[in-house]
Structure 1
Amino acid sequence: MTASFDLGLLGGACVLESANGARIALPTLRWTGQPTHADEMLLARCAGPTLDIGCGPGRLTAELTQRGVPAMGIDVSKTAVRLTRERGGVAIRRSVFDRIPGEGRWRHAILADGNVGIGGDPPALLRRVFQLLAPGGRALIELEPHGTMRRDRVRVGDGTWFPWAWLGVDALDDIARAASLRIAWSAAHGARRFTELVAA
């Protein structure tokens, strides 16, 4: 992770640059703030052990912990893990594609803040997520409010390029089918869109 991304995790300005030249301002103030009413739509559905994938500075992981819900955040950023722990959450520095503690026993997994784009291949990511979940487990994901799916290479600041994807609501049915999943719940709060996926 770059110094500019670490600054973003602390609430500073941070821009995601796409290989096609687009520059996207990241919502760092939301990431570092307290959970919002929109976040509550995800948090309220977590009733058992929850894995927060790409936890960032830990607003969701820490909030679940404060509510007495067993939760763990994972993130590839050392700064993100430190900040999550400072907020009272449990977090480890790990890629979702690495071995994860409690694999096959998590009841919920959260992919908020666009993290369904991790790895640039949402169907592959979702298949991996369901390997981490217990039978009957549920994945809560945040979607782009419009469009289908697009992929690109991105970087933050002068960091290394990495694959990313944006999954829009219009692609959800096809992506769910590709990952052998079905949609159990969908909701919106302002411009943010959420869905809950279960095994088909």
Structure 2
Amino acid sequence: MGNKTKEQRELILPESRPEVRKVDGEPTKIIGYAVRWDQLSHPIFGMFQERFKRGAFAASLVNPDVYASWQHDAREILGRTPGTLLVTEDDIGLRYEITPPSWAEKYVETIERGDVRGSSFIFRPTKEEWDETNADMPIRSVIEAELFEVSPVTTPAYPQSTVGIRSAEEVFQERTGDDDELLGYTVEELDMIMLEHDMRMRKLNL
């Protein structure tokens, strides 16, 4: 099932931190993974979990027009395909390699120091599946998706979680086709659930 809305996800895990690679005679590189295959996210607003299947971006990478930005700021472009950004799939996941401009040296330093610890990407799913064998926590598997942007980011409000531009209620609305009531909750009740979840997670991160 496809949709027309872009979504954003963030991956904050020790083994997924972007790194800086400097080799004599070669330009500096920022390297990281935006996706790790079949890695199940923490519950998204307590409603569902998500994973990306291997090869999900294969079609999107045939003739890619993807850019890398700093903290998803379109005014701070670090690289773009083809040329200064290379995005590939490997056995681990969706890997990016940025050749940043000279003015981005201050950003490179924050990655080297470990201040910037995550990778984020913007995508549009074109094929997905839902596993509802566990009624309390359905799992969304993204089978195919278009890739638009990758970005080094600081630790978000929800470490090791998936945080979307769209709200969880919109994802479920699209899945169920119900505009007024989703999984037994009204839109207003879902807003309250997400607000409470936000507050709990922020307290845990203090």
Q: TM-score range by the shorter chain?
A: under 0.3
TM-score for both structures, normalised by structure 1: 0.25
What TM-score, normalized to structure 2? 0.25
| Structure exhibiting the larger radius of gyration computed from Cα positions | 2
Greater fraction of residues in helix:
1
Higher relative contact order (CA 8 A, sep 6+): 2
